[in-house]
Structure 1
Amino acid sequence: MRTTVERVRAVPVAADPPADDEAAGRDWPRFWPLLLLGAAAVPGTALFAFGRWGDEPAVHAWRTVCLAVTLQALPFLLLGTALSGAISAFVPARVFSRVLPRRPALAVPVATAAGVVLPGCECASVPVANSLIGRGVTPAAAFAFLLSAPAVNPVVLTATAIAFPASPVMVLARLLASFATAVVMGWLWLWLGREQWLRPAVRHTGHQPGHNRWTEFRRGFQHDFLHAGGFLVVGAMAAATFNVSVPRSVLDTFSGSPWLSVLFLAALAILLAVCSEADAFVAASLTGFSPLARLTFMVVGPMVDLKLIALQTGTFGRAFAVRFSAATTVVAIVCSVLIGGALL
């Protein structure tokens, strides 16, 4: 008669389920480089097929603006997704717990200041913020970094100083207004934010012991770049459509009113979707508008624009993107008016 132990051993044991990263790896086919090639070739083939219609001045301008926005942001998106994959695969979670204060309210301004240390375009900040949340950083701090990184880094501030050589206070006003907006938005998320607004995939775990880190890096990079790149193109197409369709006379209509000019340039920054490293030169060219309105343009643009909304929708979900973008727009305008009114 067999003992109880022998009976237990005789029971067949089900095979262990595949690891999460192995299951995720099967989501990406081995021929994924062909997908990149197709994504690059299909738009060009479509433009070629339209032939003469594509030579119309309006279509040519639309195509130029769309490609300019996409190519301008693509290197930063590439850098951001690579940094995102590196954080997820190589940086232990305990690093962030040591660097950031344990109290979320204090972690928000610290993460905002980190935008100076880890500068980047708004396209790069989205996947990095996603990885930070996955590594255990409180979402409020990650979102504060998402807003501050493209707005308070040395490259942007230097470009602003060059674009406004006769108004150095504009650089200080932009720094303070952008920093204040990021901190306020981080605190607002602590107060009013809901985890249910975030897509479940955002709340993923980091590196798992026993798995190859370079494989995790490659899979994370593939997913973030291909996923976010599609939304970047959609945002660039929307920005190009606005550039072509809105006549110059509309701009002149709004420039005469102090308050309407602020609101109009805030909306223009969202629709134009100019990269934060170049928006200061666009703002300097809008000579018909007040300095306060142009400051609002430079504060709102790096934090809320069409391509950024599209990237946030694809990364965090539509429920988050709609609420966060609307709140950020209001806070950025208020901070710009208060700080710009005091300094400019």
Structure 2
Amino acid sequence: MNTFTPIKILPLLLPAAFLIILSIVWLPEHQALLDNAYIDSFKIALIGILLEALPFVLAGALISSLLRVFIPDEMISRWIPKRPIPAIIFACLLGVIFPICECGMIPLVRRLIHKGMPVYVAVVFILSGPILNPVVYGATLTAFRSHPDLAYSRMGLAFCVACIIGLAVYATVKKSPLRLTVKRETEETHQRSFRGGKLVSIFVHTSDEFFEMGKYLIIGCLLTSAIQTFMVHDSLVAIGEKPLGSYFFMMGLAFVLSLCSTSDAFVASTFLHTFPPGSLLAFMVLGPMLDFKNSLMLMALFKTKFALYLFFLIFSGVFIGSVLFSIWL
């Protein structure tokens, strides 16, 4: 039986505080934002993000359940190379086999870790899987028909950043950063018995994973919909026109919009004649690796210290890499 601990509510404090401050302090002074047009825009944005993300969360939960029921623990361990560099390259190539959006990656990766996947390999899969797959490559190439080099650069930068972060985690993290240990989850799993065989187990496990990750997804969607509806675009564009401001602007935009990796390229293409190509590249690589709703899910999977360390590696790696790639572009 799960016990309540204060750490479980930490990911909920920031959005709760944001909504309380917004409703008490800011909205009464901006009554126009409560007009039907704004409310309709908010609802459209919220439904759009949810409809875009929920199928991938469900797909990740389903694949996770199938792995739980049908894949022996030893099989995953046999697939993964023992040496770090081949294992990292193998994790990058897994995206071709499991073309899952970042929303559905967390439940799948948690199951793979408990099946024997090393944490540094799992981190590489989390970062590279949502980008290095045929669906995302085709969408990016379609969005940037006149600039196909951006599609190639997106794949290359995602591969490089994921590999470097994987090596950093391999070299620096020695203890398990998971919130729920393998032994504890195994004990909790054995405490629950299901009648009806493997098929019932699949449905039960899928629903558990889906609702556990879904609560963080909904909170992230609420906040990102509010930002899309109410933020002032003109002032942000003015900041983005500064020397390196375009990079920080586009990376911040990728974080708060929390777009799916199969659709973010079409949003980035609207800035093609406003911002330099390097900043668009930063937008398309950072978003699938680290956005608002995904950060909540990562904090639910990993301990807070490791999650913050991972956030720092992702942000700095994408920023430095996109600046270097912009020289080539």
Same structural fold, with TM-score higher than 0.5 when normalized by the shorter chain: yes
User: 1:28 aligns to what?
Assistant: none
- Equivalent residue of 1:188, what SS? helix
TM-superposed deviation, 1:318? 3.5
- Equivalent residue of 2:108, what SS? helix
1:181-233 residue CA offsets vs partner (Å, 9 max, x unmatched): 1111111111222535320246644998x985444433321221011001000
The question of 1:122 aligning with 2:102 is answered: yes
The question of 1:219 aligning with 2:204 is answered: yes
Preserved CA contact (<8 Å) 1:159 1:280: yes
Preserved CA contact (<8 Å) 1:112 1:145: yes
Aligned mates of 1:67, 1:237 — CA distance in 2: 10
TM-superposed deviation, 1:96? 1.7
User: 1:315 aligns to what?
Assistant: 301
Aligned mates of 1:199, 1:110 — CA distance in 2: 25
Preserved CA contact (<8 Å) 1:255 1:288: no
Aligned mates of 2:181, 2:208 — CA distance in 1: 12
The question of 1:75 aligning with 2:55 is answered: yes
Preserved CA contact (<8 Å) 1:155 1:277: yes
Residues 299 and 130 (structure 1), Cα distance of their counterparts in 2 relative to 1, 3 Å cut? same
TM-superposed deviation, 1:127? 1.0
Aligned mates of 1:202, 1:250 — CA distance in 2: 48
Of 195-204 and 284-293, the range deviating more from structure 2: 195-204
TM-superposed deviation, 1:58? 2.1
1:256-310 residue CA offsets vs partner (Å, 9 max, x unmatched): 2241101110111001101100000000011311111111100101100011111
The question of 1:291 aligning with 2:277 is answered: yes
Preserved CA contact (<8 Å) 2:240 2:248: no
Structure 1: gaps of 5 or more residues:
1-22, 25-52
User: 1:20 aligns to what?
Assistant: none
TM-score by length of 2: 0.82
User: 1:234 aligns to what?
Assistant: 219
Structure of higher CA gyration radius: 1
Equivalent of residue 280 in structure 1, options 265, 271, 274: 265
User: 1:159 aligns to what?
Assistant: 139
Aligned mates of 2:182, 2:221 — CA distance in 1: 24
User: 2:167 aligns to what?
Assistant: 187
The question of 1:341 aligning with 2:327 is answered: yes
The question of 1:326 aligning with 2:312 is answered: yes
1:81-118 residue CA offsets vs partner (Å, 9 max, x unmatched): 00011111111122222221012343112111111221
1:138-178 residue CA offsets vs partner (Å, 9 max, x unmatched): 01111111111111111111111111111111111000001
TM-superposed deviation, 1:317? 4.2
Residues 100 and 197 (structure 1), Cα distance of their counterparts in 2 relative to 1, 3 Å cut? closer
User: 1:98 aligns to what?
Assistant: 78
Aligned mates of 1:88, 1:317 — CA distance in 2: 23
Residues 205 and 106 (structure 1), Cα distance of their counterparts in 2 relative to 1, 3 Å cut? farther
- Equivalent residue of 2:275, what SS? coil
How many residues align? The count is 293
CA RMSD of aligned residues (A): 2.4
Of 321-330 and 290-299, the range deviating more from structure 2: 321-330
- Aligned AA for 2:161? T
User: 1:171 aligns to what?
Assistant: 151
Structure 2: gaps of 5 or more residues:
3-32
Residues 71 and 55 (structure 1), Cα distance of their counterparts in 2 relative to 1, 3 Å cut? farther
- Equivalent residue of 1:275, what SS? coil
